[in-house]
Amino acid sequence: MSYYVYIMASRTKTLYVGVTNNLERRVWEHETRFIDGFTKRYNIHKLVYYEDYGSIGDAIAREKQIKAWRRQKKIDLIESLNPEWDDLAETWYTGQRDSSPARLRRASSE
């Protein structure tokens, strides 16, 4: 089973860092504002970065590490693989799969 650490962003680049075992479902929940909370309140619905892990423990440790970082370090991480801040899940729900979760792999450890 895979676990994902991901970063979502709003149009104004407000950031949210999370962890999940089903990235497509979780991104859909953010995009459709299905669950009340921070991402719904601040209109955070664009997947801009993710990493995959084989262990939930590793994924949670990485999520905590990233959450503890200053904003600029998070921005640098995003821009290391996604300099244009593209929505990596833009085509997931239209039948196209060119941005599937396998597209990006875990970045080198910081």
Q: What is the pLDDT along the chain (110 residues), one digit of tens a residue?
A: 999 999 999 999 999 999 999 999 999 999 888 888 899 999 999 999 999 999 999 999 999 999 999 999 999 999 999 999 999 998 886 544 344 444 444 443 33
Is residue 107 situated within a structural domain?
Answer: no
pLDDT at position 35 is 83
Q: Rounded to the nearest 5°, which phi and psi values hold at 26?
A: -65, -40
Whether residue 95 is contained in a domain is answered as no
Range of the domain at 30: 3-81
SS3 76: helix
Domain tally, the chain: 1
Residue 98 lies in a domain: no
Domain assignment present for 105: no
Q: Could you give the CA distance from residue 13 to residue 48 in angstroms, rounded to a whole number? A: 10
